[in-house]
Chain A
Amino acid sequence: MSHNSKKRLFVYVLAAAIGYSGVMQPAQAALIGAGQVAAAAAGQEHRSRIAAVIERPAVQAQLQALGLGSADAQARVAALTDDEAAALADRIDSLPAGGDGVIGGLIFVFLVLLFTDILGFTKVFPFTHQMKR
């Protein structure tokens, strides 16, 4: 096989490969799949659970003492990615149940630090991702 025909063969193979991926691409790119829909639904559920925790009076008072308005905090929770919301909701779930609005002292400190971590105020926990400003 001469150099030229080798080169031509390579071009054909490359063109075929590009053509193939071109055919496959639309299904991947344009369709929204089950996984994305399920992740979005779960993310929404997590965000509203986190938002409910922020609404607790004790947490609100502490956030305000740090100069963080609750509207500000809620807006940032709404901006959490699905993954971040999942990680955070997971942490909150793993806390011992605190009854209606009653949070034990240690858990309370943990919660406040968790939120200030996310808001980029502190960096206590390795698993929190600071919010992009």
Chain B
Amino acid sequence: MALGAAGIAAEPEALVAQVYLPQREGSLQVEMLAAGRRNGAFSMTIPPRLGALLAEVAAGNPVLVLQNLSLPWVPLWHYALVVGYDLDKAEILLRSGVTPRLVMPLSTFEHTWQRSKAWGMVALPPGRLPRTAEEAPTVAAAIAFEQSNAPAAARRIYAAALERWPDNLALLLGLGYNAYAAGDVAAAADAFGRAVEVHPQSVPALNDFAFALSALGRHSEARAAAQKALALGGPWQDAVRDTLQRIDAAARAR
């Protein structure tokens, strides 16, 4: 249902095989996050606070929460989707199991949610970020998404994240990498160029910029960037030397 809200079609029966662990009669949180990614959604956890949960729901992002409906010493774990709330009535609206509309007093919900250390996640269409997303977790979630999804989709996530954190090096490199992998070399060079502009001492940024320039046929600029990366030293030297060789080979093949 979380995937459905993200506009992604997925059969519940197919999802069961992806997340259900028979021995434990349930699913682990990491599996839930991975299942979201595997079905093309950008999934990440939200900060463990009621304020963050309500902010996401208000922004139209349903939140999948883990609750312990029982007491800590006889746990009864349960996933539910928070789809609405009414602060005046102090109620929260859940899709819970096969119940499409379960109204729960907010205080009861908080008790059951706190027992899971207030774990909650959203699964969004690529290009849409959680309202409450923080920088480092967003970068980590984007990198995790990239591992199992098409470059075109990963590119949309990096682009959206860069609107909030325009100077983040990993996001800039991620955007360029996926633009390149999607066949858009000019956009890749733009992203790497911006990375070099903001992080002039970053060897990875210079290396990637050099490689993209070379792919565009701008060999002398490419070589200048790679030479600068080489002069900076550090742990990426083998990669830079390799890039320099490729640039030379490409220039000769012209």
Contacts and interface: CB of A to CB of B under 8 A. Distances in A.
Given A36-B204, A37-B204, A38-B139, A31 B235 contact: no
A32 B188 CA distance: 12
B242 interface: yes
B68 interface: no
B143 A32 contact: no
B208 interface: yes
Interface stretch (B85-93, B108-116, B121-129, B170-178): B170-178
Contacts of B20: none
A40 B143 contact: no
Interface residues of B, number: 28
Contacts of A40: 235
Contacts of B147: 35
A27 interface: yes
A38 B236 contact: no
B181 A27 contact: yes
Given A30-B242, A31-B211, A32-B207, A37 B169 contact: yes
A26 interface: yes
A32 B208 contact: yes
A34 interface: yes
Interface residues of A, number: 14
Contacts of A27: 177, 180-181
A34 B246 contact: no
Q: DSSP majority for the B interface?
A: helix
A31 B139 contact: no
B146 A35 contact: yes
Contacts of A31: 176-177, 180, 207-208, 211
Nearest to A44: B235
A33 interface: yes
Contact of A32 (B139, B215, B236): B236
Interface string B20-38: 0000000000000000000
Nearest to B181: A27
**9 shortest interchain CB distances as A-B pairs:** A34-B174, A32-B204, A34-B170, A35-B143, A38-B170, A33-B177, A30-B211, A34-B173, A30-B243
23 contacts: A26-B211, A26-B215, A26-B246, A27-B180, A30-B207, A30-B211, A30-B239, A30-B242, A30-B243, A31-B180, A31-B207, A32-B207, A32-B236, A33-B174, A33-B177, A34-B139, A34-B177, A36-B204, A37-B170, A38-B143, A38-B170, A40-B235, A41-B170
